[in-house]
Amino acid sequence: MNFMSKSIPARYIFLSVFFILVSACAKISTPSGGKRDKEAPVVLESVPALNTKNFSGKSLKITFNEFVVLDNINEKLLVSPPMKMKPVISIKGKSVVANFEEKLKDSTTYTFYFQDAIRDLNEGNIIPDYQFVFSTGPVIDSLSVTGNVFSAYNLEIPEKTQVLLYKDLDDSAVVKQLPDYMARVNQNGFFRINNVHKGKYRLYALKDADNSKNYNLRDEEFAFMNSAIEVTPEKNFIPVIADTSALKTEQGKASDSTKKTDKTDLSKNTDKSPQAPASEPVVETGDHQLILFEALKKDHYLTSSGRSLKYQMSYTLSLPPDSLNFEFSIPGTDEKAYFIEKSKEKDTIKIWLTDSTLYSQQQITTIVKYPFTDTTGTIGIKEDTILMRFLAPRAPKGTRVKKPTYNVALNIPGGSMKPGQQITLKSETPFRQPDTTRIRLYELRDSSKIKIPYTFAKDNSDACRYFLNTKLLPKKTYLFIADSASFSSIYNECADSIGIKFSVRDPESYSKLLLNILNYSGSRIIQLLDNKEKLVNETYMKADGKIEFPLLENGMYRVRVIYDLNGDGKWTTGDFDSGRQPEPVSYFPNEIEIKSGWDLDFDWDIGIANFKDHKLKTIKKPK
């Protein structure tokens, strides 16, 4: 039998085996093992060369040893001095190319700040803080200006902030012209403007909202120095100063048989303190400090209006109206069909519609009269007709619409209250007078209940809040009972029954923070904050001395001082037009840990304004 005549031809078998072998050999796979590339791209050459003088070209080309990509280049690239039209940046092979859209200035040193925008294609390794410099004149300017920028009220490090340097010393230059030099603030609040020519300059910082590179919007955050700075060779490349903050802690004696006191002396918080350990990060400190603020609005206008609920409307002004009018009306409607609540500053009015035939309308025409500043700066009364719409959300077809519940919340978290704390009741819509025949308050004594007298008081500025007035004693337990429909709204909504058992804590279970404020002459506000910098309590002082913050819960706290220069009892922001800096603030150098049953006592030298240690080491209670 001829085997080949009955089977697959031999040539087909040979070809199949051949293609399998070739396919296996040609398969591309990622090599296993080997070291990962962690090296940043390296510049091989550039046209022009780095630090070239008398450059007159129209483009810049930088070639690397590997393929690179650009990360958010339009936002990260900063050219100093700035160009009216940004260079067009592109990738060609292993090169980054910048084509200039305008003629370069004569005898000018240009610095291209790429930041971390250039990285390699495969692993994303960046070239940190990459800069390229050339000059259109015979010299490369080599001086620099350094400093730090902080936000005024909390001394935090602002994001996306530019620093502007102007040869023109007139105040109007920063409003109308491009700066002569620019830089960005880094993640530590530090800035360095390189390649600056010697001379006198005005220095500013700006969070540029409209990318104009000047301070042309009043709601932009801005910082300025009250006088010009002089850039000289002696100021060239100011050295980095190590962080010298330190803390000397001394455990004091117990204040009584059950409490102990931790006494810390911070009255000598100066550069003479011992140097911080080498393991801590070095804080870059520049020669100039800029404090960023947002100026108060000066123009009167209506900022917002809205109808968030069918029976509620609100209107807000840019500024308090003071003695001027802020009026509301609904044409053809009796004033008894609604009532108006005004905010403390009277710059916001809230309207509650009480007539169902009115608030059931999807559209309501309203008239508002308010102060308005025209283009000449003149303040008058403007009348606006505003159509207020409300469309109730539709339930999916076939879904049964549930009647809205009326909830009343009491400020008794966790079933306990502080000594002296007042019980408040809060709802989403205005209260009717509570039905006190359905409400009882008891003191619990062993197995008995003693009825406690009380009264209700309405909040005059908020129809959605009531106060319960009674005498609650520490270390006692109480029971609050409100039957169904005890609380109702003006829209005939009724609350379910409420039953809350709570106690008033022993004052001895809390802690107390005592501060001895030193080394400042003038009014000041001392604020106790939680570790998220939310205000817990504050005290006003006109001179040095001791203050205390009692009844403190367990937790982490910070302390801030506001130097109340104008004596108005609040923090005041800056104003460039009048040359007024924002009122300075400072922070207690450490975060303080509070635990039950301890009195903590510290001396605090507040002689240094605008101080904040961003590491905020924690002071723990003594063991």
Q: Cα–Cα–Cα angle for 617, 621, 623, nearest 5°? A: 125
Do 513 and 549 form a contact (C-beta atoms < 8 A)? Answer: yes
Q: What is the pLDDT of residue 525?
A: 98
**311-389: CATH number:** 2.60.40
Could you tell me the CATH superfamily of domain 243-282+507-623?
Immunoglobulins (2.60.40.10)
- 573 burial level (CB within 10 Å; 0-12, 13-18, 19+): middle
pTM of the model: 0.79
Start-end of CATH 2.60.40.10 domains in the chain: 243-282+507-623
Long-range contact pairs involving 12-19 (C-beta distance under 8 Å, separation at least 24): none
Start-end of CATH 2.60.40.1220 domains in the chain: 47-135
Q: What is the pLDDT of residue 393?
A: 73
Question: What is d(CA 260, CA 623) in angstroms, rounded to the nearest whole number?
Answer: 9
Looking at the domain covering 420-504, what would its CATH class be? mainly beta
Q: Which fold has domain 47-135?
A: Immunoglobulin-like (2.60.40)
DSSP 532-553: T--EEEEEEESSSEEEEEEEEP
Smallest Cα–Cα separation from 169: which of 160, 180, 158?
A: 180
Do 387 and 363 form a contact (C-beta atoms < 8 A)? Answer: yes
Question: What is d(CA 534, CA 170) in angstroms, rounded to the nearest whole number?
Answer: 40
Q: Which residue has the tokens 């009306």?
A: 329
Residue 84 backbone phi and psi in degrees, to 5:
-65, -40
User: CB-based contacts of 19: which residues, under 8 Å, 6+ apart?
Assistant: none
Q: Which residue has the tokens 């109340």?
A: 564
Helices (H), 403-453: none
- Residue length of the chain: 623
Torsion-angle region of 545 (φ positive above 0: left; ψ -120 to 50: alpha; else: beta): left
Q: What is the pLDDT of residues 131-156, one digit of tens each?
A: 999 999 999 998 999 999 999 999 99
> How many other C-beta atoms are found inside a 10 Å radius of the C-beta of residue 599?
19
CATH match of 143-235 with 2.30.30: no
The three state secondary structure string of 164-225 is: EEECCCCCCHHHHCCCCEEEECCCCCEEEEEEECCEEEEEEEECCCCCCCCCCCCCCCEEEC
Q: What is the mean pLDDT of each run of 10 residues along the chain (623 residues)?
A: 44 48 44 66 94 95 94 91 92 94 94 92 88 94 94 94 96 95 93 93 96 92 96 65 33 36 42 33 77 94 95 96 92 94 93 95 96 93 96 72 79 88 94 95 93 94 94 95 94 93 93 96 97 95 96 94 96 96 96 89 94 74 51
Q: What is the pLDDT of residue 3?
A: 39
**For residue 407, what are its two tokens?**
């909830």
Going by the DSSP 8-state scheme, the letter that residue 48 receives in this structure is S
